[in-house]
Structure 1
Amino acid sequence: MDTDLMTLSDLQDDALIRLVQNRDEAAFAELMSRHTPKIWGIIVTKSRQHRDAEEILMNVWMAVWENIEGLRKIDSFRTWLRRVTLNACRRYYSSHRRSRDVILQSHEELFEYIDRTAPSRYRETQLHQDAREAVEHLPQRVRSIARLYYLESWNVNDIADQLNIAIGTVKTRLVEIRKILRKEFSVELQQGNVMQVESVKTQKRGNYFEGYLPKGALARFGKGYIFNFAYSPDGTRLAVGSTIGIWFYDTQTDEEINLLKGHSYYVSGVVFSPNGKTLASFSSWSDHTIRIWDAVTGESKGVLTGHTDEIYCLVFSPDGKMLASGSKDNTLRLWNAMTGEQNMTLDGHKNQVKTLAFNPDGSTLASGGSDEVIRIWNVSTGDLLLTFAAHANTIDSLMYSPDGKMLASHGGDNNVCLWDAYTGEFLRLFKSNAKEIKSIDLSKDGSTLAGVDNGNTLHLWNTRSGEKLQTIRWNQKFGSVQFSPDGKTFACDDDSKGTVFLFDTNSGYLIHEFKIDGKRERVNYYRFSPDGKTLAASNGFEIYFWNVNTAEHIKTITGYSEVVGAIEYSPNGNTVASVDGSVRVWDVKTQKLLKTIAPESSIRSISYSPDGEPLACGTHDNTILLFDVATWEHVATLEGHTKGLSCVKYSPDGNTLASGSWDNTIRIWNPNSGELLNTLTGHPDGIHDLVFSPNGSTLASCGGEGTIRFWDVVTGKHIRTIDPKSENSIDSVAYSPDGKILACTGDNGADGIRFWDVSTGELLKTIDVDAGAFSVVYSSDGSTFASGGMGELSIWDAKTYDIVKTFTGHIDPVYSVAYSPDGKTLASGCRDSTVILWDLTD
């Protein structure tokens, strides 16, 4: 059944769902647009990484499409969709990365499967990583020599030849490098990546910038997560949109020169004006504002308000005097880029506006979105000049030719088309025979159009004749395509392999492969520098830079990370360990990064032994890794779980280690021998958290099905179950220091904080928290407890349950909170990918 999408937005949910049940794809697109905001919050709080949330959302709607025909009670769609969403979240993290045919049960079986060479191999890997980190933080004038000498083992003569400098100069700079490494990094490197001291200081962090450190905070670790970045037109500055603001870098020195704060949520887009004097930014999520900044001083020049939903696109006019924005609210708006005043709102689209393009002289603006039509507007008067049907489902991109006579587009029907920009007349269709076109780009002279399809094929067409110039088939999953500034080359990325490929436009030959060499081999975003000499690519954690001509890796900007899902103080309080897939160990006093533990499998949870020696790490790869804290050597691997680990906890005496998994089991280990002591079963829907009673005799667990279970640690027997009679999950549990009360949070923070009598299972108290409660922990003396909410932390009086203090400064859910051993500071780990230490003495 075919239905015009222009009328779908007027339909009620029941009518829309019936169309979807009849396999109407346009109706399904409208249903997705309408209900995605309603489930996005659940996905965000359930997901552990930023990219995970996007993949889970896609899985949800795939499940809806596949199963909605069987939905009989249409009026229960919202409840059904919520259940589909929760199941998709659980399945996403329940899927294990490799099959295991054996579940280990005994001491003998366990040690047969322990990788005894792992400690030495792990230490070697860490030494290489630390050596590379030290070299990348050297001044730029000596970095190339250090890379060739220490990381690639070149001799002095070959370095001199390669860099075209005197041998004496190389030797002099090597002496300088050694001095810097000893003084600044306390390391002694040898050729071949060997480092004699493993602790490496990081580059200067953002503590010195206004807004980085919130009120009441003593320190902050991390710079957030990278969404995108933009070069200034002269190439001297780089603006990076992140979870906590916009970072500015000097591209010559690689130093941070500013942090721009103002958006209330993540910065998803940044764009420079043509003259480079102004920067505009926006958030695609709940912020709904555009901000303009002085690109030199960082001063805020204006907050542009008016959009009522997510902003999808933002472009400057060619003269830089005007800004145009498109939104999910079905409007595009024109703004004065100098003052921030809104010039006009252009209505007409019946659905979200996804793409905008000014013509070269800035007199007209083309817009497209999910209502299948392209509209051309006069930006001076706001008059609608042209409307023409273009693509089925959506218009995904629009590009003007340099002379302004032609307009290229591609859309949801996977066609690539060329139109007369003055009349809207269809000129030609660029044929690819592909099921999906992922991306297009137009060369700067307008003569060549490039497209990437889902069949791992690149297409180049002559825009004037429509002739196919090149078809490049490559065994890669290309994501997007981008021409270099001079058009002589073009780049494509394989996101899944962390590689950007550079091709010659005329011949179609591969010139270079640029590989992101880190723990996260992904490409989130990439760009050519304005002069075309450098290619920069980000995986969300770092930005890598390569010389386009030589493919030499020039530098890496670091300091970013994934969602921080867990934090813990060392027993002596000198360090804080945070988990974002890797484990980062921070010195509390110096506020420096001491160590990064980044095994092949993502780490999900950690626990220090009470004596501060072993650190246990639960991984996504079903294993527990034990590290010697003194040397950071990997000393043991505990195997037995059949799905990823969600939590690990040492007992108060350190003689027992408990682990919880998405395989619905809890396992009790002797951490000294590696022996599996017991396997506890009963939770039907994954273990979310574990906590030992203060005397260590009892273990409390909670799970996705919404119950709390108590276990005898010695015998493994189930003691009792607290069942709140709710379908909501329970996500965290904490004992009071006297062992009489158990506190819990659940339902992605929505259930507040509940307190239970441990001996009777009676519900003692429920606190509804406006900001939600995702995590809870008691102070060591039991006088207070702390909870992490949406962007804030609360300190409560444990006797009266009154709030004592609130700290704000994070963005998004605070997934983990931890008191320091002396009770003077509180650490928080957040979805915004940072850790903050808060002062409790004030």
Structure 2
Amino acid sequence: MSFQANGTQNTRTIRPYRKFEGHTRWVNGVIHLPDGKRIMTCSNDGSLRVWNLESGEQIGKNLRDGEHEMNIIALSPDGKKVVSGSKDGTRINVWDARTGKLVTNLDGHTSWVNCLALTADQGTIISGSFDNSIRMWNTTTWEQSAALTEHSGAVDVIAISPNGRIFASASADHTVRLWDLENRQPISSPLQHPKPVNCVSFSTDGKLLATGCCDYNAYTWDNPASQSVLNKFEGHTELVKNVIHLPGGQRVITCSRDGSLRVWNLESGAQIEDDWRDGKSEVYTMALSPDGKKVVSGSQDSSLRLWDTETSKVIIKWMGHTSGVTCVRWNGDGGRVMSGSYDGTARAWDAKSGKTILGPITAGLILYAVTYSPDETMIVTGGYSEMERIKIWDAKTGKPVANLKGPDSRVYCLAWTTDGKKLISGSADGTIRTWNATTWQQNTVLIAHPEDVCDIALSPNDRIIASASSDKTVRLWNLDNGQPINSPIQHARVVTTTSFSTDGKLLVIGCWDKNAYIWDVSATIKEAGLGDLLSDSNVSENTSLHAVPLTTTLFLKAVSSQVQYLIMKR
């Protein structure tokens, strides 16, 4: 049994099955046309093309208006018109979505068009350009109704608020500007950033504005007029690999490719201790002990280090692997640590002596995930090998118990239900698979993402799965029936790790933009009519729908599924 991302049940595993061939240069945009039977693409070869969704064949001739590269394409809210922007510096094209005929050309920009937006009432097209201007167009007369020239750099993104009264523009001039859509006047002063701004988005209730910047940080503005930015944790000079919440609720700790672990004050955002360092090797992964007193980290130099969270000192350094340590996991009582490595082996370590007590277990060419079963009788490894990607081992002897046949690609993440009856895996083929832990047969296949599944997390009551993907989304799944919950949570870049808070209210997400985000998923689940999925999670009724993205590195609990995808993509 399998499910597509839209919830449609299949009788077999469905993979992408249609290829649309014909363009001679990059395809920059694709949209579904309203009849559900056609798609339209735009390309640097200067054409728009319409395709039969079922057969993959091109319908009609190429749509062209000159030979200029097509940079962007958008569908009007009523589905009747397609708007495209080109790199010829002068032109926006409007097309009839049903016939494919050119309706009109909009001339005014003096450089290529970077972004397009259409108001919900169909009355206005808003365009942003490399010429630093924003232009507004009346869709009845096709005349330019306004030219806004306050930006001093290219306008890269336009976003319209949910109520349709305000729009935001993000620019290479390091600012985001807010505009009154009715009178075309700026609202407050520009939102200043340290570098060019690549993305901007309103929350679903319109109260928050999130921006993404070339300084590798994201920002949230709780009131666009007041410019009150939420907390930010700055200091690392390389990609942040992982973050965990330290006991007491007042501190978080991050690890980074810059070779350091850093402790931060949760309220002020200030670094409160000197960097934790022991050498210069990149830190790939870390995990907090069950009692919260120790952190184990894995590094590029093949070592594991055990840290005291109170003294910030290395207690012991463990050597044994012959390549970088990609994943670590504590057992339930904190007496043992499992590790996996680029060297393809897994090892179990005595947490007091640092001695290898099991292994090396040769599990494949590369390991990305390792975990104990809830009863700790088994060890499961996931990674890349020439044969099976998921392997089961006896936790006492290290002898193989079973090989799971299913994913034909790298397995990046593993999770167990708390009752130990189901094992869940996520892999590079975009699937999430559930396995019967008695028979080791595959139960279900969720066609979850069009790209890699980098991490999976289970809600506290084991009824909801969250999956993080390189397709820049996180998706929520009903584990009872394999159906998706609501639409995907969109991000600016690859999403590498995700975890539920211990009370089940929030989902914390780590993104390749070096930032973390917190989403209130309880309200989203309730709005989808699935509030019963939260029944065992102690979820408060007083929750809000909107997502609250935070900057840099803030998670509410230890992320036990490590960021193997980031390591592999280095």
Q: Answer whether contact 2:90 2:107 (CA < 8 A) is retained.
A: no
Query: What is the rounded CA distance, in whole Å, between the counterparts of 1:281 and 1:445 in structure 2?
Result: 31
Cα gap change, 1:380 to 1:224, in 2 (>3 Å):
farther
Aligned residue runs from structure 1 range 254-293, under 5 A: 256=229, 258-284=231-257, 287-293=258-264
- Which digits, 9 at most, give the CA deviation of each residue in 1:18-69, with x for residues without a partner? xxxxxxxxxxxxxxxxxxxxxxxxxxxxxxxxxxxxxxxxxxxxxxxxxxxx
Task: Give the corresponding residue for 1:554.
Answer: 546
* Unmatched segments (≥5 aa) in structure 2: 1-24, 29-41, 48-65, 69-87, 94-103, 109-114, 120-124, 129-133, 135-159, 167-176, 201-210, 529-543, 553-570
- Which digits, 9 at most, give the CA deviation of each residue in 1:579-634, with x for residues without a partner? xxxxxxxxxxxxxxxxxxxxxxxxxxxxxxxxxxxxxxxxxxxxxxxxxxxxxxxx
Query: What is the rounded CA distance, in whole Å, between the counterparts of 1:259 and 1:495 in structure 2?
Result: 24
Cα gap change, 1:245 to 1:504, in 2 (>3 Å):
closer
Q: Which residue of 262, 279, 284 corresponds with 1:307?
A: 279
| Aligned partner letter, 2:466 | A
The 3-state SS of whatever aligns with 1:304 is coil
- Which digits, 9 at most, give the CA deviation of each residue in 1:254-283, with x for residues without a partner? 965644444344434322125433321122
Task: Give the corresponding residue for 1:356.
Answer: 328
RMSD: 4.7
Task: Give the corresponding residue for 1:393.
Answer: 365
Q: Answer whether contact 2:465 2:479 (CA < 8 A) is retained.
A: yes
- Which digits, 9 at most, give the CA deviation of each residue in 1:535-583, with x for residues without a partner? 45557489584523325961354899xxxxxxxxxxxxxxxxxxxxxxx
| Aligned partner letter, 1:485 | P
| Aligned partner letter, 2:344 | E
Task: Give the corresponding residue for 2:437.
Answer: 463
Q: Answer whether contact 2:402 2:440 (CA < 8 A) is retained.
A: yes
Query: What is the rounded CA distance, in whole Å, between the counterparts of 1:425 and 1:505 in structure 2?
Result: 31
Task: Give the corresponding residue for 1:482.
Answer: 457
Cα gap change, 1:433 to 1:526, in 2 (>3 Å):
closer
- Which digits, 9 at most, give the CA deviation of each residue in 1:627-663, with x for residues without a partner? xxxxxxxxxxxxxxxxxxxxxxxxxxxxxxxxxxxxx
Query: What is the rounded CA distance, in whole Å, between the counterparts of 2:252 and 2:90 in structure 1?
Result: 59
| Aligned partner letter, 1:276 | G
The 3-state SS of whatever aligns with 1:315 is strand
Q: Does 1:295 align with 2:272?
A: no
Q: Which residue of 329, 332, 347 corresponds with 2:319?
A: 347
What is the aligned-residue identity percentage? 20
Q: Answer whether contact 2:469 2:496 (CA < 8 A) is retained.
A: no
Aligned residue runs from structure 1 range 810-829, under 5 A: none
Q: Answer whether contact 1:400 1:408 (CA < 8 A) is retained.
A: yes
Q: Answer whether contact 1:543 1:556 (CA < 8 A) is retained.
A: yes
Query: What is the rounded CA distance, in whole Å, between the counterparts of 2:363 and 2:328 in structure 1?
Result: 15
Is the strand fraction higher in 1 or 2? Answer: 2
Q: Answer whether contact 2:347 2:360 (CA < 8 A) is retained.
A: yes
Task: Give the corresponding residue for 1:29.
Answer: none
Q: Which residue of 481, 491, 500 corresponds with 1:507?
A: 481
Q: Answer whether contact 1:222 1:559 (CA < 8 A) is retained.
A: no
Task: Give the corresponding residue for 1:441.
Answer: 415
| Aligned partner letter, 2:326 | K
Q: Answer whether contact 1:241 1:270 (CA < 8 A) is retained.
A: no
Q: Does 1:426 align with 2:400?
A: yes
Aligned residue runs from structure 1 range 595-614, under 5 A: none
The 3-state SS of whatever aligns with 1:549 is helix
Aligned residue runs from structure 1 range 791-810, under 5 A: none
Q: Which residue of 330, 334, 356 corresponds with 1:384?
A: 356
Is the helix fraction higher in 1 or 2? Answer: 1
Query: What is the rounded CA distance, in whole Å, between the counterparts of 1:202 and 1:508 in structure 2?
Result: 47
The 3-state SS of whatever aligns with 1:374 is strand
Q: Answer whether contact 1:354 1:396 (CA < 8 A) is retained.
A: yes
Query: What is the rounded CA distance, in whole Å, between the counterparts of 1:403 and 1:251 in structure 2?
Result: 45
Cα gap change, 1:415 to 1:199, in 2 (>3 Å):
same
Query: What is the rounded CA distance, in whole Å, between the counterparts of 1:201 and 1:530 in structure 2?
Result: 39
Q: Answer whether contact 1:528 1:535 (CA < 8 A) is retained.
A: yes
Q: Answer whether contact 1:456 1:475 (CA < 8 A) is retained.
A: yes
Query: What is the rounded CA distance, in whole Å, between the counterparts of 1:202 and 1:474 in structure 2?
Result: 42
Q: Which residue of 366, 370, 373 corresponds with 2:338?
A: 366
Q: Answer whether contact 1:250 1:257 (CA < 8 A) is retained.
A: yes
Task: Give the corresponding residue for 2:44.
Answer: 98
Q: Answer whether contact 2:287 2:296 (CA < 8 A) is retained.
A: yes
* Unmatched segments (≥5 aa) in structure 1: 1-90, 105-109, 131-145, 153-184, 189-193, 207-219, 227-239, 561-842
Query: What is the rounded CA distance, in whole Å, between the counterparts of 1:331 and 1:301 in structure 2?
Result: 23
Aligned residue runs from structure 1 range 78-97, under 5 A: 97=43
- The TM-score normalised by the length of structure 1 is 0.39
